[in-house]
């Protein structure tokens, strides 16, 4: 079985693209390929450069980050610590810096702390900063994942089901944040089964089925396509 086969998509920068399709269509596998967690035989270009031969951390350094369908926060650390670990190349990580440039390291740590608190406030989970990440609810973990992703200042975010298991109030909050971030120039590729939610925030929708792109277009057009409805609802939808 080929989870993704002959699948080609273009994502214009500064847009929100929704990736939909039935369970097992290959959406998460597509994310794994794009973000470097799995290897395929195709080509992946990001900002004009090939990234299909790079490991995930290097792809993240190029400005592309992803969240996971099942959140992967570091559960034995606090919410704030989770966020403070996200920025790459921290001075304090280099052992000789800790000894020789203690003042600079502390200054930088303070700056990262302030930035992290700002992000937690943006996602309205700053009141949970001292909780263990493992103690958060499903929806709060999703918010923390997005916060961690944003902490590395990405230009593109891949979100795997950001609304799944999230209550309507939190979902609206996440949508609002996505809108705001898009306004500031960020690009999104979002996997989502909540069709009303994803069509509302997306500029373009790509539909996958059995490892291939079966349709793509503007949200209103996709919502009316009979073949797409059939795939989702099973047979004569
Ligand atoms: N590690 C794996 N080993 C074997 N098969 C896998 C693996 N990961 C995924 N698959 C298979 O690949 C296909 C695509 O899976 P994928 O997780 O990409 O689907 P999806 O579109 O994200 O589905 P969902 O909407 O349920 O999350 C499925 O048939 C799945 O069983
Ligand atoms: Mg999936």
Same domain, 123 and 219: no
**Pocket perturbation via mutation, ligand 1, pick of 18, 23, 26 by most ligand atoms within 8 A of CB:** 26
Q: Which of 3, 31, 159, 160 to mutate to test the pocket of ligand 1 (most atoms within 8 A of CB)?
A: 3
Q: Measuring CA to CA, which residue among 223, 80, 70, 225 is closest to residue 148?
A: 80
Distance CA 143, CA 183 (A): 19
- 160 and 178 co-located in one domain: yes
Q: Are residues 177 and 149 in the same domain?
A: yes
Q: Which ligand is nearest to the CA of 159?
A: 2
pLDDT tier for residue 95 given thresholds of 50, 70 and 90: low
136-166 pLDDT, tens digit each: 988 888 889 889 988 888 999 999 998 887 7
Q: What's the chain's average pLDDT?
A: 88
Q: Are residues 98 and 67 in the same domain?
A: no
**CB distance 18 to 202 below 8 Å:** yes
State how far the alpha carbon of 92 is from the alpha carbons of 85, 120, 138, in Å. Answer: 11, 22, 32
Q: What sections of 35-137 are H helices per DSSP?
A: 56-61, 79-85, 95-100, 102-122
Number of separate domains in the chain: 2
What spacing in Å lies between the alpha carbon of 177 and ligand 1's midpoint?
Answer: 28
* pLDDT at position 101: 74
Q: Are residues 95 and 57 in the same domain?
A: no
State the distance from the centre of ligand 2 to the C-alpha of 93, rounded, in angstroms. 34
Q: Which residue has the higher pLDDT, 32 or 167?
A: 32
Domain end residue (candidates: 116, 135, 154) = 135
> Does one domain contain both 127 and 205?
no
Pocket test for ligand 1, best of 2, 18, 21, 27 (most atoms within 8 A of CB): 27
For helices 138-150 and 168-183, give the axis angle rounded to 10 degrees.
Answer: 10
> Considering the chain, what percentage of its residues have pLDDT values greater than 70?
92
Q: Which ligand is nearest to the CA of 68?
A: 2
* Res 237: pLDDT: 46
Antiparallel, parallel or unpaired: β 16-20 and 156-160: unpaired
Rounded Cα distance between 181 and 177, Å, is 6
CATH number, domain containing residue 3: 3.40.50.300
The pTM of this model reads: 0.87
| 206 Cα: distance to centroid of ligand 2 (angstroms) | 14
Report, as an integer, the average pLDDT of 154-181: 87
Say how many Å lie between the CA of residue 191 and the centre of ligand 1: 13
Both structure tokens of 105: 């390291």
Q: Are residues 111 and 221 in the same domain?
A: no
DSSP string, 133-156: GGGS-HHHHHHHHHHHHHTT--SE
Determine contact, residues 82/73, Cβ cutoff 8 Å: yes
What is the DSSP-derived secondary structure letter of residue 201? H
Instruction: Answer yes or no: do 79 and 60 share one domain.
Output: no
Residues spanned by the domain of 60: 1-72+137-237
Query: Do 97 and 213 have their domain in common?
Result: no
pLDDT at 201: 95
Q: Which atom of ligand 1 is nearest to the CA of 69?
A: 27
Q: Are residues 158 and 230 in the same domain?
A: yes
Q: 187 and 97 in one domain?
A: no
If asked whether residues 123 and 174 sit together in one domain, one would say: no
**Ligand 1 pocket, CB under 6 A:** 3, 21, 23-29, 69
In contact, 85 and 74? CB cutoff 8 Å: yes
Provide the pLDDT confidence category of residue 129 given band limits of 50, 70 and 90: very high
Distance 150 CA to ligand 2 centre (A): 21
Which residue, by CA, sits nearest to atom 26 of ligand 1?
23
Task: Report the alpha-carbon angle 83-47-144, nearest 5.
Answer: 15
The answer to whether 159 and 190 are in contact (CB under 8 A) is yes
**Last residue within a domain, chosen from 135, 151, 172:** 135
Among 82, 110, 135, give the residue marking a domain's end: 135
Whether pLDDT at 35 is above 70: yes
The ligand with the least distance to the CA atom of 3 is 1
Query: Exposed (0-12), middle (13-18) or buried (19+): which is 30, by Cβ within 10 Å?
Result: buried
What is the arrangement of strands in the sheet containing 212-217, beginning at the earlier edge strand? 64-66, 156-160, 187-191, 16-20, 204-209, 212-217
């Amino acid at each position: 079985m080929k989870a993704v086969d002959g699948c080609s998509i273009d994502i214009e920068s500064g847009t929100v693209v929704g990736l939909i399709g039935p369970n097992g269509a290959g959406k998460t596998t597509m994310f794994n390929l794009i973000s470097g967690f799995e290897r395929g035989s195709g080509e992946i270009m990001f900002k004009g450069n090939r990234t299909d031969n790079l490991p995930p951390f290097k792809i993240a350094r190029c400005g592309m980050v992803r969240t996971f369908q099942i959140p992967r926060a570091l559960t034995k650390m606090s919410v704030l610590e989770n966020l403070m670990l996200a920025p790459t190349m921290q001075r304090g990580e280099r052992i000789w810096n800790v000894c020789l440039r203690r003042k600079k390291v502390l200054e930088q740590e303070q700056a990262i702390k302030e930035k992290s608190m700002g992000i937690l406030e943006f996602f309205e989970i700053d009141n949970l900063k001292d909780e263990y990440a493992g103690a958060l609810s499903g929806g709060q973990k999703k918010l923390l994942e997005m916060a961690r992703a944003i902490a590395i200042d990405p230009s593109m975010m891949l979100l795997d089901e950001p609304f799944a298991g999230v209550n309507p109030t939190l979902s609206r909050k996440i949508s609002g944040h996505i809108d705001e971030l898009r306004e500031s120039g960020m690009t999104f590729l979002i996997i989502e089964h909540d069709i009303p939610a994803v069509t509302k925030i997306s500029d373009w929708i790509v539909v996958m089925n059995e490892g291939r792109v079966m349709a793509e277009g503007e949200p209103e057009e996709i919502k009316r396509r009979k073949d797409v409805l059939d795939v989702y609802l099973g047979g004569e939808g």
